[in-house]
């Protein structure tokens, strides 16, 4: 870590960078101006561009605050690196989570249908509520879960040989195999790969 870009060590005087007063006033003016800009742009309907412009303006404001009020511009570079690394991890966090959210249904179309069904049902339920002017039973957070019969039926649970249900996590024994206590034992036969293995 090098100090030479900000710190002067001569004679006990350590010269922290004193930002000129006019820079502070300039930054303050810029922040006020950008606030007016972001409010003004929001009054115009630009569709999805509204979000883009708002985030762009906010990021310019945030960068100005970081550079001048928080003095990253005059500071040791290490602090900027630390902060930018934090932001990179935020970007990773967003990237992989939103990749999941926005790609649901790409691989499994049933998932997509499920979400559309849920949404349609919620809308329907909501419209009925508005008509009768009182909440239907089970409304609120529970309304987010659709009735069981609308869901894709889960695969049938594995059943034990006697017809009863196995406890959760139990593996049903294959037909004609050894009892479960021997499952972990190494196989006695050579794998059916064709090449004979030495005994």
Partner 1 sequence: MSTIVKHHHAHHFANSAQEFSASKMGMWLFLVTEVLLFSGLFLGYAFAKSLYPEMWYEASKQLDWKLGALNTLVLITSSFTMALAVNAAQTNLNGEKTGRLVKLLVATIALAGAFLVVKYFEYSHKFHMGLLPGPLYTFGGINEPNAHLFFGLYFLMTGLHGFHVVVGMGLLTWVTIRASKGHFYSEYYTPVEVGGLYWHLVDLIWIYLFPLLYLVG
| Site for partner 1, rule CB under 8 A | 3, 7, 9, 14, 16, 18-19, 21, 24, 27-28, 31-32, 35, 38-39, 42, 50-51, 54-55, 57-58, 61-62, 65-66, 68-71, 75-76, 78-79, 82-83, 85-87, 89-90, 93-94, 97-98, 101-102, 122-123, 125-126, 130, 140-141, 143-144
Provide the minimum distance between the beta carbon of 195 and partner 1 in the complex, in angstroms, as a whole number.
53
Query: Which residue lies nearer to partner 1 by CB, 144 or 182?
Result: 144
The number of residues in the chain equals 199
Query: Which residue lies nearer to partner 1 by CB, 4 or 162?
Result: 4
With beta carbons less than 8 A apart as the criterion, state whether 123 and 116 touch: no
Give Cα 82 distance to the centre of its chain: 22
Rounded Cα distance, 101 and 112, in Å: 11
Q: Name the 3-class secondary structure at 159.
A: strand
Provide the minimum distance between the beta carbon of 149 and partner 1 in the complex, in angstroms, as a whole number.
21
Q: Name the 3-class secondary structure at 137.
A: coil
Q: Phi and psi at residue 171, in whole multiples of 5°?
A: -100, 125
């Amino acid at each position: 870590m090098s100090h030479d870009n900000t710190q002067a060590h001569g004679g006990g005087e350590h010269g922290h960078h004193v930002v000129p007063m006019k820079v502070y006033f300039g930054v303050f003016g810029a922040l006020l101006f950008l606030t007016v800009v972001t409010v003004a742009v929001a009054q115009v309907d630009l569709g999805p561009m509204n979000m883009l412009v708002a985030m762009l303006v906010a990021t310019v404001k945030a960068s100005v605050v970081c550079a001048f009020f928080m003095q990253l511009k005059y500071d040791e570079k290490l602090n900027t690196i630390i902060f930018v690394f934090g932001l990179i991890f935020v970007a990773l966090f967003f990237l992989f989570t939103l990749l999941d959210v926005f790609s649901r249904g790409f691989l499994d179309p049933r998932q997509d249908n499920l979400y559309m069904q849920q949404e349609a049902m919620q809308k329907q339920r909501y419209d009925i509520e508005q008509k009768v002017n009182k909440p239907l039973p089970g409304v609120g957070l529970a309304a987010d879960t659709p009735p069981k019969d609308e869901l894709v039926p889960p695969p049938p649970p594995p059943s034990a040989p006697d017809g009863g249900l196995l406890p959760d996590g139990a593996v049903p024994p294959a037909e004609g195999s050894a009892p479960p206590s021997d499952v972990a034992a190494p196989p006695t036969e050579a794998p059916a790969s064709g090449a004979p293995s030495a005994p």
